[in-house]
Amino acid sequence: MGGLFGVASKGDCVSDLFFGTDYHSHLGTKRGGLAVKNSEGISRFIHNIENAQFRSKFEDDISKLRGNRGIGIISDFEDQPVLIRSHLGNYAIVTVGVIQNTETLAKKLFGQKVTHFAEMSGGEINPTELVASLINQEMTIEDGIQKAFDAIEGSCSLLLLSDEGIFAARDKYGRTPVIIGKKPSGYAATSETCAFPNLEYEVLRYLGPGEIVLMTEDGWEQKKKPGDKMQICAFLWVYYGFPASSYEHINVESVRNKCGAFLAKREDRQIDLVAGIPDSGTGHGLGYANEAGIPFKRPFVKYTPTWPRSFMPQNQDIRDLVAKMKLIPIQGLIEDKRLLFCEDSIVRGTQLQDTIQRLFESRAREVHMRPACPPLVYGCKFLNFSRSRSELDLAGRKAIYELEGTKGDPTSYSNPDSEKYENMVEQIRKRLKLTSLRYQRLSDLVQAIGLAKEKLCTYCWDGVENK
């Protein structure tokens, strides 16, 4: 998905920028980038972080950066920040989101005499460069950002480092968060509030949908008021967000505990212990165990010193290998036990299938799975939360296809009390070879988050696109 961080400081900003950006490493998969502005211009560094930590790639660079304003990014695909020279001045820009109508917008810009775009390795247009080209169509940066937001199908939040300061803008429907923080030496903008405490920032403002502000070391100024319609991604609380972060004043770990509690309230199985698939399943598992009064234990422990996150490598076989090698089973907590695992979600189920097999090979008596969200049956149109190339890769959609072929209507499988829904879940259970499988109800997930459903994007589960 990606995450961004920016600093405007009365002193040098580089240390805060480095650590603040690093606190977004759980959000992105491929690229990291920093840009810092001083009286001599903008300096930038970009590195591949697929197989190494952000800190290790940038440790040598930070000694070469100096300035009181800077922006950073952890990105899924493209090289960022992008440096732009235009009639609006020289600036650097980073973006988070997905642009679905890239080709349409590019053709329109070509018709307006924009002569070229740099291609990424796959032949695709760098979406951040495309956003900059849209911004440059207007006479002010804030008008340009507004133009880009109105033109984009999908989502786009951004930071733009200019002579005026740092423009921070949240996407039109607020699908991704942007939060402003403050401390005596200046201000910061972040995707994740977990970046603030250790850098001594206090949350000052959660930007609203489509809101644009200009941030300097002396304060911030609203350039565009927020819109009324919000569709923040509910999956942020379920999986993507770091436990210490909050969105719309709602803490991630607290929501995960509540999700687990809701799963426990609907339980009818006798089990011996509760566990969470590390790491994001842990909060859900703790909530389940506390509600059910059943011991929470760790039949798998995660070996973190050398193994990167399993979804970072681009090759699926390598991701599966990393997922296997980093989880080490504890035989004494598995053998002859009725185990119940909480998981954030089941996307494809490929890695989970191997994990379940290893539990039975360790002589588990039963293995039950309780995902903290409903079955994923629609590919996300707004964020890169899955690397699936086709919706048929999703466990829920694949089950529907196996049951009905191409004639299967996903909307008819969304009611958890329906026979079709039960058949879909049973199909997934059999494929994964679980003793039992029960998903979170969407109504319970919404209640755990605590926002009205119309303020949440739940498209990947129910196909509802509220505009």
Domain 3-230 has CATH 3.60.20.10: yes
294-322: buried (b, 16+ CB within 10 Å) or exposed (e) per residue?
Answer: bebbebbeeeeeeebebebbeeeeebbbb
**Joined tokens for residue 329:** 């089973």
Tell how strand 219-224 and strand 338-343 pair up.
unpaired
**Alpha-helical regions (H) of 59-111:** 102-111
Q: Map out the domains of the chain as residue ranges.
A: 3-230, 251-456
| DSSP, res 236 | I
Domain 251-456 has CATH 3.10.129.10: no
pLDDT of 359 higher than 80: yes
Tell how strand 338-343 and strand 366-371 pair up.
parallel
pLDDT of residue 122: 58
pLDDT in tens, 9-66: 999 999 999 999 999 999 987 899 999 999 999 999 999 988 778 888 998 999 999 9
pLDDT in tens, 293-308: 999 999 988 887 665 5
pTM for the whole structure: 0.93
DSSP per residue over 169-197, as a string?
Answer: E--TT--S--EEEEETTEEEEES-GGGSG
**Proportion of the chain in helix, strand, coil states, percent, rounded to 5:** 35, 25, 40
